[in-house]
A and B are shown apart, each in its own frame.
Chain A
Amino acid sequence: MPRVEWRVALRALAGFAVGLALWVFLSPQYDRVIAAGAEKVLRAFEDPPVTRLRPAADRFVTVDREDFDPRSKRPAIPVHDLTFNVILLTALFAASKRPFSDRNISGFLLAALLLSVTHVFGMVAEVMSIYVAKLGMWSRVNYGDFSRNFWGVANHFYRLVLMYAIAFMLWWIFRDRGIEAPAPAKKKKKR
Chain B
Amino acid sequence: MQRNQVLFLVKFFVILLAAYLLIAWNPVNDRVIVPFTEGIARVSGAVLNFIGQDVTVNGTVIASARFGVNINNGCNGVEAMLILLASIVAFPASMKARALGLLLGAIAVQLLNLVRIVSLYLLGAYQPRLFDTFHTAVWQIIIILAAIGFFLIWSARVAPSRVASRA
- Partner of B153 from the list A4, A80, A169 (CB cut-off 8 Å) is A4
What is the distance, in angstroms, from B164's C-beta to the closest C-beta of chain A?
4
A92 touches B141 (CB 8 A): no
B136 touches A81 (CB 8 A): yes
B157 beta carbon closer than 8 Å to chain A: yes
B145 touches A16 (CB 8 A): yes
**A157, B13: Cα distance in complex, Å:** 12
Count of A residues near B, CB < 8 Å?
Answer: 39
B37 beta carbon closer than 8 Å to chain A: no
A178 touches B165 (CB 8 A): yes
A182 touches B153 (CB 8 A): yes
Q: With contacts A80-B136, A164-B79, A181-B163 known, is A172 near B74, CB below 8 A? A: no
Stretch at the interface among A83-91, A111-119, A132-140: A83-91
B94 beta carbon closer than 8 Å to chain A: no
B32 beta carbon closer than 8 Å to chain A: no
Where chain B touches its partner, the secondary structure class is helix
A165 touches B12 (CB 8 A): yes
A87 proximity list for chain B (CB < 8 A): 137, 141
Q: 1/0 per residue B135-167: CB within 8 Å of A? A: 011101110110011101111110010011111
B16 touches A161 (CB 8 A): yes
A80 proximity list for chain B (CB < 8 A): 136-137
A12 beta carbon closer than 8 Å to chain B: yes
B136 proximity list for chain A (CB < 8 A): 80-81, 84
Interface residues of B in 16-36 (CB under 8 A from A): 16-17, 20-21, 24
B133 beta carbon closer than 8 Å to chain A: yes
B152 touches A181 (CB 8 A): yes
B102 beta carbon closer than 8 Å to chain A: no
Q: Identify the A interface with B (CB < 8 A).
A: 2-4, 9, 12, 16, 19-20, 23-24, 80-81, 84-85, 87-88, 91-92, 153, 156-157, 159-162, 164-165, 168-169, 172-173, 177-178, 180-185
